[in-house]
C-alpha cells in the first residue's frame, strides 16, 4: 500500500496537510500529458520561452510572502531565509532568461575550418526527484534551465514537502506557462523506476541521499537514461594561520547554521591550523551562542527546528556516539526540551576521525572542530570522508589558497567565502557527492541533445546542353 504525502509543522509536530499518492494510471496520464506539452513547448521560439521565465519571476515575486510562510510551516525554515529562497529563485529565472541567446547559441567546432555547428536541442521529459530542504530552489534549479532548453519537467517532491511543491506549481500556472511543462508527481518511491522507464522520460535528476541516488541511478542505467546526482556532502571549512579569524568565524556560523544546518553545501567539518585554533574556537563559540533558536515565523529567529522528528533523533545519535568515542562538547549537545523538533547550535572538539559527526554527513547545527599542524595534515583530515561536494578555504595567501584548492577532492572550492549554489556557476560534486552538474552553461547542457550539424556543399545540378 502506498503511503500518502504527509506535511507536519516542525514547530509543533502537528499534521498540516495530506496529499494522496498517485495511482499507476494517474501517473501514466500525467507523464503522457507532460510528453504532449513538451512536443508543443519545444516548438516555441527561444525568446518566448525566455519571456515565460521572466513571467515566472514576476509571479514568484507576487506570491513571495505566501510562499515564504508556507516554508515556515512545512519545513520550519526561518522566515527571512524563506523569503531569500524565493528571491533566489527569481534571480535564477531572470538570469537564464537574460542569457538565453548565449546558452542556446550554436558553437563552432573546436579546431579547423569545418562546415559544421554544434547545437543544443531538447530531449523530452525530465524527472526530478527532489528533497525537502529547499523545495522551491531545487525544483526550479532543475526546471528553469530545462524549460529554456525546451524540455518539460516532472517533479517528485519529498514526502514531507508536497505542499510547497504544489504551491510552486500553482505559481507556474499563474505565470501563464502551459499545463504539463512543470508537473508535481506525487508517486511512491517504488513507482519511480516505472516513471524512469517510460519512453517519454529522457533523463532524471536526483537530489538526496547516496542510497536513494544509487537506487535511482541503477533504474536509469537499466533504462539507458541520462542521470544527474547531487547526493550531499560533508564540506570541510579550512582556516589557515594567516586568515582573518573573525571573518572566518562569522562565515562559519552563517554556513553551518543556515536552515538549521540542513543544507548539502553547509560547512560540516572545521579544520583550523594550530596557531589560530583557540582564537577561532572562541570566536565560533561566541557566534553560535548568539544565534537565537525559536519559532521560524518570528523575524528575530536565526535557527528554527529540524524538519522532522527522525532527523533530530538521528542528529542527536550522531552527537551522542561521537561523544562516547571521545569528542568533547563545547556548546549545546542536547535536544531542546518541549514541543517541536529543535536542536541547539552545537560545537564539538577532539573529535576522532571515525566518529559519526566527522565520518558521516550531519544534517543539523553541529560543528566538529579539529586542529591541524601542517598543510599535509589539513589535506589528510579533509580527505577522511567519502564525499566531494564543496570546500571553503580561509587565508590571505593566494598561493596557499590555490595549492589547497587544487589538492582538495571537491567539485567546488570557495576561498574566503562559504560554498553556495549560484545560477552563474556549475554546481555539483565528485565521489559519493554525485555525478554531473547543475546550473550555468555546464548544467544547462546535461539534458540536451548535443547535436552536430554538418553542412556539405550542395550537389551539382544536372548539366545543361544546347
Task: Give the angle 273-278-283 at the CA atoms, nearest 5°.
Answer: 105
Q: Which of 74, 85, 230, 273 does the annotation list as catalytic? A: 230
264 a catalytic residue: yes
Q: Which three-class secondary structure string do you get for 209-230?
A: CHHHHHHHHHHHHHCCCEEEEE
Catalytic residue among 74, 93, 264, 361: 264
Q: CA–CA separation, 395 vs 332, rounded Å?
A: 28
Give CA–CA dist 60/192, Å, rounded.
29
Crossing angle for the helix pair 79-98 and 135-149, to the nearest 10 degrees: 10
User: What is the sign, positive or negative, of the torsion defined by CA atoms of 193, 197, 200, 206?
Assistant: positive
Q: Is position 321 annotated as part of the catalytic site?
A: no
Per the listing, cell 537506487 goes with: 215
CA atoms within 13 A on the CB side of 414: 23
For residue 412, how far is the Cα from the chain centroid?
A: 13
Structural contact between residues 161 and 132, judged by C-beta atoms closer than 8 angstroms: yes
Cell of 233: 556532502
Catalytically annotated residues: 230, 264
Amino acid at each position: 500500500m502506498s503511503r500518502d504525502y504527509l506535511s507536519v509543522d516542525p514547530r509543533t509536530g502537528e499534521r498540516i496537510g495530506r496529499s494522496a499518492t498517485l495511482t499507476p494510471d494517474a501517473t501514466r496520464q500525467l507523464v503522457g500529458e507532460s510528453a504532449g506539452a513538451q512536443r508543443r513547448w519545444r516548438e516555441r521560439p527561444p525568446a518566448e520561452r525566455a519571456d515565460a521565465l521572466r513571467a515566472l519571476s514576476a509571479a514568484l515575486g507576487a506570491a513571495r510572502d505566501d510562499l515564504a510562510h508556507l516554508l515556515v510551516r512545512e519545513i520550519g525554515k526561518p522566515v527571512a531565509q524563506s523569503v531569500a529562497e524565493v528571491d533566489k529563485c527569481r534571480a535564477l529565472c531572470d538570469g537564464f532568461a537574460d542569457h538565453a541567446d548565449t546558452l542556446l547559441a550554436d558553437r563552432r567546432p573546436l579546431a579547423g575550418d569545418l562546415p559544421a555547428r554544434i547545437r543544443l536541442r531538447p530531449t523530452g521529459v525530465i524527472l526530478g526527484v527532489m528533497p525537502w530542504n529547499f523545495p522551491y530552489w531545487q525544483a526550479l534549479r532543475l526546471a528553469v534551465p530545462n524549460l529554456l532548453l525546451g524540455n518539460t519537467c516532472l517533479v517528485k517532491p519529498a514526502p514531507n514537502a508536497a505542499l510547497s511543491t504544489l504551491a510552486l506549481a500553482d505559481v507556474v500556472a499563474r505565470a501563464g506557462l502551459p499545463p504539463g511543462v512543470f508537473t508535481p508527481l506525487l508517486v511512491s518511491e517504488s513507482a519511480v523506476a516505472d516513471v524512469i522507464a517510460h519512453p517519454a522520460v529522457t533523463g532524471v535528476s536526483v537530489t538526496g541521499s547516496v542510497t536513494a541516488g544509487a537506487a535511482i541511478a541503477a533504474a536509469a542505467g537499466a533504462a539507458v537514461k541520462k542521470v544527474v546526482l547531487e547526493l550531499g556532502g560533508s564540506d570541510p571549512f579550512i582556516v589557515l594561520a594567516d586568515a582573518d579569524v573573525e571573518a572566518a568565524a562569522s562565515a562559519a556560523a552563517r554556513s553551518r547554521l543556515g536552515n538549521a544546518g540542513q543544507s548539502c553545501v553547509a560547512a560540516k567539518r572545521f579544520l583550523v591550523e594550530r596557531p589560530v585554533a583557540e582564537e577561532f574556537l572562541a570566536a565560533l563559540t561566541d557566534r553560535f551562542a548568539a544565534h537565537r533558536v525559536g519559532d521560524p515565523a518570528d523575524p528575530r529567529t536565526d535557527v528554527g527546528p529540524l524538519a522532522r522528528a527522525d532527523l533530530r533523533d538521528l542528529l542527536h545519535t550522531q552527537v551522542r556516539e561521537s561523544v562516547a568515542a571521545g569528542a568533547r562538547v563545547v556548546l549545546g549537545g542536547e535536544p531542546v526540551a518541549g514541543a517541536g523538533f529543535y536542536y541547539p547550535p552545537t560545537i564539538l572538539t577532539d573529535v576522532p576521525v571515525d566518529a559519526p559527526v566527522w565520518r558521516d554527513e550531519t544534517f543539523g547545527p553541529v560543528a566538529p572542530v579539529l586542529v591541524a599542524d601542517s598543510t599535509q595534515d589539513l589535506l589528510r583530515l579533509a580527505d577522511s570522508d567519502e564525499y566531494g561536494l564543496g570546500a571553503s578555504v580561509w587565508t590571505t595567501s593566494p598561493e596557499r589558497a590555490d595549492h589547497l584548492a587544487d589538492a582538495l577532492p571537491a567539485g567546488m572550492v570557495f576561498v574566503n567565502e562559504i560554498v553556495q549554489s549560484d545560477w552563474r556557476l556549475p554546481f555539483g560534486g565528485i565521489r559519493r557527492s554525485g555525478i554531473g552538474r547543475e546550473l550555468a552553461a555546464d548544467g544547462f547542457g546535461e539534458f540536451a541533445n548535443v547535436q552536430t550539424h554538418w553542412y556539405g556543399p550542395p550537389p551539382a545540378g544536372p548539366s545543361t546542353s544546347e
